[in-house]
Every structure is written in C-alpha cells, then in structure tokens.
Amino acid sequence: MAENATEWSLDTPVAFFVFNRPELTAKVFQKIREVEPSTLFVIADGPRPGVPSDEKKVRQVRSIVTDVDWECDVHTLFSDINLGVKKRIQTGINSVFNDVEKCIFLEDDCFPNTDFFRFCQTLLKWYDDDERVMDISGSNHLKKWYPNRQDYHFTRFGGIWGWATWRDAWEHYDPKMTKWEEPAFRDRVRDFYGGGKMWEYVELVLDRTYRNDIETWDYQWMFTKAINWGLTASPSRNLISNIGFDSDATHTQDESSPMSGVPRHNLVFPLDRTEYVCTDREYDRQYYKLTNSIWERNVLLRQFRHFYVRNYN
C-alpha cells in the first residue's frame, strides 16, 4: 500500500478540499485511495453564480470523491452555494475540528506521494503536546534540505500545499487578524521573523491580507503562528507537487512559476526524531529569497498585463 515496504496504516483523519476540477481531483483522490484513511472528510464548494460550466464540473467532482471503495468513515461537507476559497477552507477546517482532534489536509491540486501521509501521521503523534510546533507541512519548496543528515526540520515559513495540524493549534486561528494593528503584537511578529528584509516582506504580505487586498485564508494562519511563536515541521525532501498552476486556478495561475510541479521524493522510514525544536535560520533565509522573488515577479507580471491591456487592447 505504501511506497516503502514497511507495513503501516493511516488512522489519522484526512480532509480533502475540492471544487470544480475533476481531472486534478481524480489524480489526488487516487493517492488518498492508495493509503486508505479510516476517516475522510470531503469539503466541496458550490458552483459560482453566472458560470454555467460549474454545475457539471461540480457534479463530476463530487461523484469522484464519493466513490470510496475501502472501509472508511466518510463525512461530506458539500456547500450548495459558492463560498469562495477563503471562506470554504476556513469553515471546512472549523467543521473538521468539531469532530476530530487532528487532521491531514489536502486541496485538489496538491499531489502527494504516499510518504506524505505517513510523515504527517508520525509527526502529529510526536509533537501532539508540544505547543512550539503548530503544524506540519508536506512541502519543501527548496526541493531538498540536507536530507542526508535529517528527515525534517523546523521553519517559520509553513507551506499549506498538503499539511496537518491539531485542533488546539487551530483554536488560535484569527481570520480577521484582529491584533495586527496593536503595536505589541506587530512587534511580536517582527521579533519572530527577526526584522530586516524578511520582516519587510512579511509585513507587506500581512498588511495586504489585513486590508483584504488578498483573498486568502493562509496568511491569517501565518500571522496566528507568528504571534504564538509557532513553528512548522517541514520534510527534508519535498513530498507534494502542486499540479494546479493554470488559468483555472484561484491563486496559482503562472504556469512557469518555480513553485509549479516541484518534484516529489520519498523518505526512509522509520524517521529519526530531530533533537531540537528550533527554526532552521538558513532554510528560512533561502525560503524567503525564493518566495520574495516570486512575489516580485508576480507584481511585475500584473503591471505588464495592466500596461498591455490599457495600451494595446
């Protein structure tokens, strides 16, 4: 069942967010099927008003994800109306944690290998009572990070393309970032990121999120972790490929992005537990350089498109 030979079973709940992309949904759902979770939450948004093609695609997606052919406790959370990615994911996670204490989360464009599920399950158990660790990511956007000396590391930057967390960590989530404009909390976030260029980047992103210039849910989670000085456990080898970079995506439309389709790698189990819980500052620096360069690239692309449309259309 797993890609490694050692026998194991997935007793950690899995939540799968879907919408209107049947081909991507089928690929990711096949990976879920391979590991046969004992509990599955399927969280689906409703069709958008004024988009007739959504009706058929939404029906196709829901048919795919309800074809569960293994022994499993299935919870379907299907919205009749379109909530949008921000509200659908926020409300979906809230609903999941009304029923369970920890969960692994995937979206329809986050393509895992089966080691991802085992990695998350292992670390959810190891750090269940450690408030310094607030979530676990399957993504390593740097592809690999010293895999010969460690199986995972800790970072202030957590990827949500395949991730896991606990109910008691999510209870801190503040979707409106109500404390962002309080100087003491802004200073706390600055101290968490260490000031400098990294802080300037984070401050810009969080300011735009607070003003609702960015329609998302995950930067609010980033803020929540920062004010609680919570870290993310990230694998030494990337376990998730985002296969959804195209014009149909909500946020990932640049198909040439270096974040698109990052190769997946296997881990060797059993994992070796890391001795110290502290951020890997060099990983954070390299991650910041990558994400900041992508942010600047996207700003330039938006400016170019605006100029082109204004002058040549």
Q: What is the pLDDT of residue 297?
A: 46
CA 306 to chain centroid: 29
Please report whether residue 71 resides in a domain: yes
Q: For residue 251, what are the CA distances in angstroms to 134, 206, 242?
A: 24, 16, 12
CATH code of the domain in which 81 resides: 3.40.50
Residue 95 belongs to domain spanning: 7-108
The residues, ordered by sequence, that sit 6+ positions from 204 with a Cβ below 8 Å of its Cβ are none
CB 117 within 8 A of CB 28: no
- Count of structural domains within the chain: 1
pLDDT at 244: 85
Its pTM stands at 0.89
Could you please report the per-residue DSSP string of 78-145? E-SS--HHHHHHHHHHHHHHHH-SEEEEEETTEEE-HHHHHHHHHHHHHTTT-TTEEEEES--TTSBS
Answer yes or no: is 137 within a domain: no
At 253 the pLDDT is 44
Residue 94 belongs to a domain: yes
Instruction: Specify if 19 maps to a domain.
Output: yes
Low-confidence ranges of the chain (pLDDT < 70): 1-6, 245-261, 294-313
Report if residue 74 sits inside a domain.
yes
CA distances from 242 to 42, 78, 86, 302 (A): 19, 23, 18, 22
206 SS3 class: helix
State the pLDDT at residue 256. Answer: 58
